[in-house]
Amino acid sequence: MDYVFNMNEILEMAEQIERNGAAFYRNAAKGISDFQSSELLLELAQMEDQHEKTFASLRIQLSEDEKTSAVFDPDGEAVLYLRALADTRVFFKKKIDTGAMEEILKEALTAEKDSIVFYLGMKELVPEQSGKAKIDSIIKEEMGHIKILGKKLVELKK
């Protein structure tokens, strides 16, 4: 089956990625002993929570065209496919040293970069009338995380 997605499906997946990210940061915060590092991770988790709310709000505002599936999919395979991708490609459960802030930040940077690559790929699968341009706002949010994480990683290495 060829997959063509609408903006509603992409935003649903974005919400799941943000939930996964928040869980990643909260789990990492539990394993780190440094208070400031733990607070940073919890702050990043809250950012992910806020992004999830932003994407949910965007979903509510979608037009009918942006919610309408571009292909006949009576079994909902497209959404299942997106959920599987969201749960296995970005912020999936990995074995990392949650006691080492540098490792946590490196993994988080990799996940954020993966999410951008993923959204760029998804952008090619969304027709213009289904909200393709809105994917740029998702990418911009993820780029903001990369800036924060990169800055913190540089500070840590000083």
3-class state of residue 13 by DSSP: helix
Task: Find the domain containing 24 and state its range.
Answer: 7-157
Q: pLDDT confidence of 1, banded at 50, 70, 90? A: very low
Amino acid code (one letter) for 151: K
Q: Radius of gyration of the chain from Cα atoms?
A: 17
Q: Is residue 2 part of a domain?
A: no
Please tell me the pTM assigned to this model.
0.76
Question: Could you give phi then psi for residue 40, rounded to 5 degrees?
Answer: -60, -45
Q: pLDDT (tens digit, 9 = 90+) per residue, 89-135?
A: 555 555 566 668 888 999 889 888 888 887 887 777 777 766 677 77
Q: pLDDT confidence of 150, banded at 50, 70, 90? A: very high
Q: Are the C-beta atoms of 5 and 81 separated by less than 8 Å?
A: no
Q: pLDDT confidence of 29, banded at 50, 70, 90? A: very high
The CATH code of the domain that includes 127 is 1.20.1260.10
Q: pLDDT (tens digit, 9 = 90+) per residue, 40-93?
A: 999 999 999 998 998 898 888 887 777 776 555 656 666 666 666 655 555 555
Q: Is residue 132 part of a domain?
A: yes
Q: Is residue 59 part of a domain?
A: yes
Q: Is residue 1 part of a domain?
A: no
* pLDDT score of 55: 83
DSSP 134: G
Q: Is residue 40 part of a domain?
A: yes
DSSP 38-96: HHHHHHHHHHHHHHHHHHHHHHHT--HHHHS-SS--TT-HHHHHHHHHHHHHSS-----
Q: How far apart are CA 98 and CA 7, in angstroms?
A: 35
